[in-house]
Structures are given as structure tokens and as C-alpha cells.
Amino acid sequence: NEKVEKKKREAAAVPVPVPKGPMPLPLVGNMVHIKPFGRRPFAYNIADMADDYGDIFSLRVDLLASADHDGVPPIFITDPSIVQELVQREKEFPKMWTSNANKTISFLGGKGLFTSSTTDREWQTARPLMSKPFNEVKLKAYFDIIVDKSERYVQQLEHRVSRGGGGKTLISELNEWNSCFTFDTVMEASLGTDLKNLEALGEGKPLDPFLPAFRKAFRMNFKFNKGWQLKHYLNYFENKRQLEEFKGCVQTMFDRLESLVEDTRNGVIGSKQSVLYSLLCDESPATNEKVRLANVKNHLVTLMVAGHETTAATIGFCMYFLAKNPECQARAREEARRVMGSKGYLEYKDAGKLTYITACLRETLRIFSAVAMLQRYSPKDTTVQGRDGTEYTIPAGSMLYVVLRGLHTRKEDWGDEPLEWNPERFMDEDLIKKRHPHSYYPFGFAMRSCVGQFFAIWEARVCLALMLNKFDLEVPESYKFEAVRGMGPAPFPADLALMMAPREDQIVSSRARGCFPAPSTPAGDVSGDAQMPVPPAAASSDVRIFFGSNVGACEELATSIQQYLRKLGLNPACVKPLDELVVDGGDFSAGKTVIVTSTYNGFPPDNARVFESWLKDPAASGGRWKDAPIAICGVGNSQWHATFHKFPNFVEAKLKEYGAEAILPALKLDVSKEWDEEFEEWLGRLGGELTGAGNDSLPSPVTGRGNRLAVQLVQEEDAELMGVETLPELFKSSASTFNAREIKVLENRELQYGDSERSTRHVELSLPKGMEYRCGDHLAIRPFSSKDLVDQALAVLRLGGDEWVVAALQDCSSGRKARVRSRNVLRFLDLTVVPTKSELLQLAAMCPCPPEMFQLKRLAENRDEDRTTLEVLQQFKSLQLSLDAFCAFFPLLKVRYYSIASRGNSPTCKICVGVVDYTTSTGRRHKGASSGMLQQLKEGDSVFGYVPHLSSDFRLRMDVPIIMVGPGTGIAPFMGFLEERERAASEKASEEDKEALLFFGCRSAAQDDIYKEELRRFQRVGALTHCFSAFSRDQPEKVYVQHLIVEQKDLVWRLLQAGAVVYVCGDAAKMAPDVRAAFRQVVSHFAASESAATDYMERMHEDKRYLEDVWG
């Protein structure tokens, strides 16, 4: 393949201009050829031109050209190789909502998620807030709503058929029915309000006013978006009437939006988990800003229109194709009935098994994509390469349009009859592998892909499954199928009407409508304790688990594996990021290695990039894997076909090449489908192999929480248990075996000032003898639950707090136990933990009250991420748990790590603590267990803590310049660095020190410019040579440390050229990637090429000149 590609590149050494389409006419250009205002979607007319003018061509269509670059014609693309370049060079080809047509549409949509440019700050702010509620995991929370709305829709159709005589009945207005169904579904899922349009349509009542108003306004928008114009005088009275009607529709739209916003603000609809509440109140993780209030309505328009019209169109087209193809309809029905089984309804775990119905929907989207064209922009002159190797020049200012009808119907990828509907195209793996990986993008691509695509597919397939169980679908003889511009931006099947006949063999649901049962897992299997077999031999485990994860999913799975193996008597040595595998090293054949990793746009996760580079180098890693037992779990999404499991596959191939031996076949999860059972089955097989049970898979329950206490209430007359050491006695007799020791507080002061409502504490502590640290180390603090939480737990348990309890760690092999008061036992537990689904099901199984049991099962399917286990126990009062059973649901509080903010080799230690303090959606005030505890300490009080000895390169170097980046409490280690430099400067005043540059960031100079006096002192004595502070909220445009790094590029580059080491401390999710990008931008500015910049940054990482101490 590489040789073929090389020949293509050589043959196309000289770029050529983009070919032109048909000859444009004077004044109108190619408008007459694309027919933009005709009944047929004009993108289909453009797609037809590809047969004559090739896979890339330009047209003179001013409507689609950039409004900022007159004379640069738009370019139309159907070549998947060029699409691949647009995906891979995404930053070079952003979506810019700047065409003349865009500006017209923006009259209604404003700067909504769909109707804005990638470079717009508003889009960057809103995108993560609107994406998070619709990811694959969140679908579980919406599933009951989808099922409920689907059942209501089918019930309305049953009423229609019944009114038609009960036999085969013509159902017209199916587009309207589908729109009402999808509109009601997305509105209840995202806004928490049931608009009941389905019922209104069924009863002949008016629909929600937004729908008809938007449709009419959209149709009239091109005519009146600029108000009254000279041309309107040609038909004065009619145009005057229409203009008033248009204005009335627009006003109705925005009045409805206003009412939804106000109802959400006042708590009438929705909750704090709703999309609208998030848009109104939450800060974006991308920009740390809230969505501008003036723009909330624009995003709401996107949600209300694109969130339902496109799905409604897809369902309509798919219904037509199923009706037209009885064999396919029968196969889809058989699948739906098989998956539902005798129970007659769908559960969450069922929907992922509807593979053929999903293929029908994907094939429908191939021919009639919900979005006709994908828009991109080239800000500078560049080139792209076609599938045949030809290089095409793309002028600066060009609008590029991927014409999906053309891309999705190329014979090279889709066969000789590409417009023939055939779901096998998405069932046959050979057909999938043969076509170009970038030949299918019905929901867009890369960062501008549709945020609701997973919701849409789930919604459509559930609806169709329930409908096919009830009805036979037929196309009336008189019906003429035609795809037309629809009620909104999506194409629709014109005037869709089908014959529906009730099936006599339909499966009747075994539950009452609106009653959602818990999954079918037997209650006793949830914890697995009773059924878990004892392994052949309890093992001191030589298993190590490593993960690669950007958003935490793989880390959670890795932890689940660890917890499960512990149940089997194994004790994995570690659960660490893949990059730490490189640091740990060793001979991997001596133990067993489990790897869980995902991929990100084809690249490794951030915490696996060092591992990837190391694995590519046979000299560094190859010899260590000979005969090494490995198990690999890859996590991916098949919707991204081009990069599906790219990194897990790379890891598997390399380890196999180096001679590693698979413990069992690698698991490749597809999170676009139901995957829980597949993971649990694999986990059971892994347990069987590791414990010696061989191929006999051990039961693999949903793992519970590790690190738990086993407790027993002690009666005063029980002499044996009353003889167990108390906790203080145990600490005294076994002091050398405990890490944590008592540490005295010397000082605790507030660093925030002015009218700040937040709290950041400077805490200075006196370390016990023998507890030493170096610059860059951390202090681990052992937190305890607050008195208020402990009192609440005691009330739930109906205990007084002074009862004696003997407690021991469940998974502790030392056998140590201690006698302690019940109140103090509870202080060790994390009483703010949120229950898992399996734990809620366990509680349901233990609940003696049937109504409360049902509510708990329902809660398990619709978990509230803010509702703690303690709050659940307070609500469901029939649950009367023993103390031991209570402790099983609450893990021990974990130690918290704080970067030490003082120089090394000192008997005292300083830390900087950002206090966590907020109110949850349930009304509970949440204070961080550790930060809240530290906030309350006074001089002379004690805490328990220790200095962990971690392998780290985050150490101060005195022989080179240093660049420090530490916004907020991320400044902490650098206070220690600067103290160290201050001491060194005083000891060798005659010697010139290396430069030290600090980038610090906070919200406001008037509130949280912490340590400003200390930093001034460091500058006076020369320990700090340059200091730049970013105050994000002191000006209209927010400024962060990454902006200052780029602004000071000349200074930064000079220090880098002098061998400077870069230290970054703070937030891992947003700040660290943005800072890396800023340094990359600086290097790119001075480097000879982009590849040279990439090499420079990689060398900095390899040479340990770019170091991070970041947290999630």
C-alpha cells in the first residue's frame, strides 16, 4: 500500500486547480444548475454532477460562498480520500458559519451549536455542555423515556387503526406523527418536560406552539429575514400579509423559548441535570465560562429543531423502505420479537442487540442523510489529495462542502446500485472492510459531529422495534415516493402515508405501561459473594493492571478488574496509567499484565503516549515481552470506523510481535452497543485463567467497592471482643506498620481576600521526627467524615455513637483489628459516595417494602449522580441495615495528596488547599472531606498524614533555567522551588543563578492573587526573574496562562533554547492540554516546519524537560 501511495504522490507532483462544474450563466452563475429553491434537496442535484465533473469541482454559487471572500467559488467534494484529509487536518479546515446562506439562516438560529463557527468562543463553550448529556453512558438514564414515548406513539397508532375498523388502515401524516414523537422524546430527555404532542395530535388538539411556528418561519426566512425590501412591492398586499405572518411566527418561537428558559430557572420543569439548566448555570470545561445568556435561546433552537426533525425524517424513510421490502421487514420484526422475548418490552440491555434494525437505519442514513452537506473552510492556500493521487490547490477563503449523497453513493465503495436500499451493507463485514473508511459520515465528522447521534439511533431503533411487533407495514398503491425539502432543514419523504395492519401474533407486554423493571440479573447475583467459588489456591498475585484513558472510562474498568480479582483471592500489584508501565519496567515474563485502553481520534490516550513511543522501539521494549502473559481489553466506538480500536490493535500487534502470550483472546468492546455483559463474561474468563480454573469461566458479577471495613458490634459481656486493642492502643503497639502519623498544625490562614466567596488555605505543619521530603514531593492527608455526616449516619442506623465495635479491613491479610466506638468507625467511611447501579439493586433486594423496592429499582435505572448512598438510606426508611451491612456500601476515605509548598530538608511543611464547597442538586451542601477538614483546623490541632515516596522526575533543577506554570493551587510546588532557589541564592551570592519564569493564573487580582507578597519577595532577591499573572475575570475576554505563554513566546523560546525545563502543575483535564498546545504553538512559531516542532516537543518529553504534576 505504501508503494502504491508513493507512486500516486510522484505522479501528482504538480498540484492542479480544482476542476470547474458546468458553465455558469451571467448574473446567476450555477444557481440554475443546483436549483436551490426547488422541491428536491439541491444537494442531490450537486451530487448528480459528480458523474460528469468528478469527485471534486467548484461551482459559482454565491449563496454558498464565503461572505468574507468575494469571488472565491465554493468547492464540492465526494471523494473519501479528500474527506480523510479534512478529518485528519481538522484544525486547518474548521467549520466556519460564514457563507451568505449561513448568515440568512442565522436570523432564526443565531449562534447555536449547529449555526456557529468552530472558532467562535460561544461554540467552544457550549459544545461540551450539550455533548455530555448525550454520550453513550448517559443513554441509560434516558432509556425509560425513549421506551415510554415509543409505547405512547404505538398506542396512538393503535387508536387510529381501531377507529379505521381494526383492520388494514391507511395512516397519513406520518411525518407529523414522527415529528411529534421525536420532539416529545428529546424535550423530556433534555429539558425534563413532557409536551404531550403525540396525545394532542391523536385528539386533534393544537400542538406545542413552537413546532408550527418554526416550520412556517423557516419556509419564509429566505424571503423576509432582511425585513421589507424593494422587491416586495411587486406583490404588495400579499407580501405585507406574509411579512406580518413571518414576524408573528418568529415572535411565537421566541416567546416559547423564553417560557422554557424561565420555567427551568424557576424549577417548574427539568432538574439540575437537564441540558437547559446546564446551559444556563454550568461553566464549560472547555473555556471555564458560562454560555452567554443571550445565546442560550439559540442553542435551544438547535436542540429543539435538529434534535428531532432529523430523527423524524430518518424514521420516516426507514418505515417506507421496510414497507417496500417485506423480506427485510420480516427479518427486522423477527429480531425485535426475539430480543423482546416473551416479556414483550425492551430493557436497556436489549436495545444494543437490535443489530439488523440498526443496519436498516444506517442504510437509510446513507441514502438520505439527515444533513445534506458538511461544511468546512480553508483560511489559507493549501492542497488536498484525491483518491487517484492527484493534488488539488485549494485557494484561501474557499468554502468546502462534503456532499453526503455523493460520498455515500460512489460505486467504488457502495457497488453498482448505490441508490438501492440494502441493509446488508452494514451487516457484511467483508463489504465494510472493502469500502474506504471515510466513505460514510451521516452525522458529520470529528469535533463537529452531531452531539445527539447516539440518542437518535437508540430512539429510532426502539420505536421501530415496538412498531414492527404491532403492525405490518405496506406501501399504498397510490403512493408516489419522493424525497423533498421538509418542514425544517432535513429532507423528508413527501406526504408519507402507509398502510398499517395489526398483527395477530404480536407479543403483549407483560408489564403495565409506564412501569420500568430493573434488569433481569437475579438480586442475589449482584454482589456475587454467595455464589463466588473459592479459587483453587488463594494467590499472592503477580498481576499488574495498566490503563490508557482520557475521560476515565478505562480507568474505571481497570479498577473493576482489580476489585473482581481481589474477590478471587488475587491481589493485583497495581492499577496504573500505561505510561507508568515504562517507568516500572522489569521482566514482564515474570508476571501477568492486564492492559485496558481506548483510542482518541486514532491516537493513544494522553497517559499512554510515552508507552506508545517506548513500545515502538524494539531496542527499548522488545526483549522484555518474550513469553510474557498478557490480557488486553480495548474500548472503542464503531461509529468511528476509521479509528475503531486503532491503539488497542497497535498494542496487541506489537506485544505479539515481541513474543508475548495471550492469557485469553483480547476483548474489543464497542460502546455504541450494549457491552456490559460482554465485559463481565470476559472478566469471568480472565478470573478463571488467573486462578487456575482454566477455561471454566468464574461468575463475574458487577464488582462492588473495594477497601471496605468488616465490623461487629460488641456487647459489654463479650470478654474476648472487649479485649481487642482500642484504636489508640493499636496505633501505639504497631506504629511502625502505619504510614500515617500525627502532624501538628502551626499555622492555618486564608489566602483569598476581598469579597471572594471561595476559600484557599495556607497550612503550615510541624513534621514528626524522621518524616522527610524533597522539593516536588506531596503530603498525603488522611481525612475523616464530618460530625454532621456521622450524625446523619448514626440516625439511619439508630445508634447512639458510643457503642463498641471491632473493625478490620476486609481485604487485609495482616489480621489487625481494633476496638473503636461506632461514631469513630463511621468517621473513616466516605459518607458522600454515590451508589452504583448494582448497589441500588442490592438495596432493592434487601427492601421489605414493595413500593419502596420498586422505587429503588427504578432509581437504579435512572441514577441521580448527586444523590449519595446515605441520602438514599435516609429516603427509603424501610431499609434497616446492620452496621456491618451499612459499611459494605461505604468505602474507606482515601488519602488526599497535596503538593508541598516549601523547600526540602525542613522540619516544617507547607501546603496550599483549595476548599471544595458547593450545594448539590439534592440540596445537600457538599464540603470536601479533606479540604473541609483542613479548613477548620486551628494552631495546635492535629491531622494524620505522611510523605509518600513516589517515583517522580518532578524535581527542581538548579543547573538550567526553569519555566513554571501553576494556576490556582497549582502554584504550590513552585513556592517550594522558589524557597529553595532563595536559600541557594543567599548561600552563593557571587554566582549567577539561572533564570526562573513563572506563569500564574487566578480569577481576579482583587480576590485570589494568592502568595503575591511572597512572589514579590522572590523577585527582589532574584529567586524569581520573571512572573506573569493571568486574571481570567478582570477583563471582558478571559485570559489564562496558556495565552500568556504564547504572548511571551520570545522569552519562552530563548529559555527553551538555553535548555530550560518546563514544570506544569494543576488541572489535568483542561489546563494541562491547553498549556501543552501553547508551548507547541511557541515552538511551531520558531521551528523550521511542523514536523520539526513535533520532534522538538517529543525530545523535550524524552529528555525530561517537560514535566507535569497534574490531577483530574
Looking at residue 106, its amino acid is S
- Name the pTM for this structure: 0.55
Sequence-ordered list of residues with C-beta below 8 angstroms from that of 538, at least 6 positions apart, any chain? 569
Describe the chain by its helix, strand, coil percentages, rounded to 5: 45, 15, 40
Give the strand pairing for 543-548 and 592-598: parallel
Sequence-ordered list of residues with C-beta below 8 angstroms from that of 1025, at least 6 positions apart, any chain? 995, 996, 997, 1019
Beta bridge partners of 474: 499
C-alpha cell at 1011: 502568595
Question: Strands, DSSP E only, in 4-48?
Answer: 16-17
Contact assessment for residue 965 and residue 1063, using Cβ atoms and an 8 Å cutoff = yes
> Which pLDDT score is estimated for 347?
83
> Which pLDDT score is estimated for 525?
31
Please state, in angstroms and rounded to a whole number, the distance separating the CA atoms of residues 59 and 72: 10
How far is CA 701 from each of CA 29, 561, 678, 1043, rounded to the nearest angstrom?
Answer: 66, 11, 12, 48
Through-space distance between the first and last CA atoms of the chain, rounded to whole angstroms: 41
Burial label, 410 (beta-carbon count in 10 A; 0-12, 13-18, 19+)? buried
C-alpha cell at 1045: 505563554
- Other C-beta atoms closer than 10 Å to the C-beta of 432 total 14
> Which pLDDT score is estimated for 996?
96
Cell match 485496558: residue?
A: 596
Contact assessment for residue 901 and residue 840, using Cβ atoms and an 8 Å cutoff = no
- Count how many Cα atoms sit within 13 Å of the Cα of residue 606 in the half-sphere of its side chain: 15
Our CA angle for 636, 639, 642, nearest 5°, is 80
DSSP 8-state code for residue 491: E
Please state, in angstroms and rounded to a whole number, the distance separating the CA atoms of residues 42 and 37: 8
Please state, in angstroms and rounded to a whole number, the distance separating the CA atoms of residues 683 and 689: 10
> Which pLDDT score is estimated for 271?
74
3-state DSSP assignment of residue 912:
strand
Chunked into runs of 10 residues, the chain (1112 residues) has average pLDDT values of 54 81 93 88 94 95 88 95 91 89 71 84 83 66 87 92 86 92 90 89 89 82 80 87 88 87 82 79 79 84 81 95 96 92 79 90 94 93 93 96 96 94 91 89 84 88 94 94 73 93 81 38 31 40 84 75 84 87 73 89 78 88 86 83 83 93 92 73 88 58 53 76 67 56 94 90 93 91 93 94 82 64 92 85 86 86 82 92 89 87 92 90 86 94 85 85 96 96 76 86 92 94 95 90 95 96 87 90 91 88 86 62
Beta sheet of 169-171, edge-to-edge order? 169-171, 498-502, 471-474
> Which pLDDT score is estimated for 135?
58
Give me Rg for the CA atoms of the chain.
32
> Which pLDDT score is estimated for 964?
97
3-state DSSP assignment of residue 682:
helix
How far is CA 590 from each of CA 10, 13, 169, 460, 881, rounded to the nearest angstrom?
Answer: 49, 52, 71, 51, 45
3-state DSSP assignment of residue 630:
strand
Residue of 482, 512, 511 whose CA lies nearest to 494: 482
C-alpha cell at 441: 459520515
3-state DSSP assignment of residue 274:
coil
Dihedral of alpha carbons 235, 241, 244, 245, sign: negative
Sequence-ordered list of residues with C-beta below 8 angstroms from that of 181, at least 6 positions apart, any chain? 149, 150, 152, 153, 198, 312, 315, 463
Rounded to 10°, the helix 309-324/174-191 angle is 140
Give the strand pairing for 962-965 and 996-1002: parallel
For 635, list phi and psi in degrees, rounded to 5: -120, 120
Contact assessment for residue 1096 and residue 1053, using Cβ atoms and an 8 Å cutoff = no
Burial label, 424 (beta-carbon count in 10 A; 0-12, 13-18, 19+)? exposed
Sequence-ordered list of residues with C-beta below 8 angstroms from that of 600, at least 6 positions apart, any chain? 550, 606, 647
Please state, in angstroms and rounded to a whole number, the distance separating the CA atoms of residues 1042 and 1071: 8
Rounded to 10°, the helix 293-305/121-131 angle is 50
SS (H, E, C) 956-968: CCCCCCEEEECCH
- Other C-beta atoms closer than 10 Å to the C-beta of 610 total 20
DSSP, residue by residue, 293-328: HHHHHHHHHHHHHTTTHHHHHHHHHHHHHHHH-HHH
Please state, in angstroms and rounded to a whole number, the distance separating the CA atoms of residues 336 and 191: 29
DSSP, residue by residue, 695-733: TSPPP-PPP--SS-EEEEE--TT-HHHHTSPBHHHHHHH
Please state, in angstroms and rounded to a whole number, the distance separating the CA atoms of residues 405 and 419: 9
DSSP 8-state code for residue 1078: H
Residue of 1069, 999, 1079 whose CA lies nearest to 1041: 999
> Which pLDDT score is estimated for 108?
64
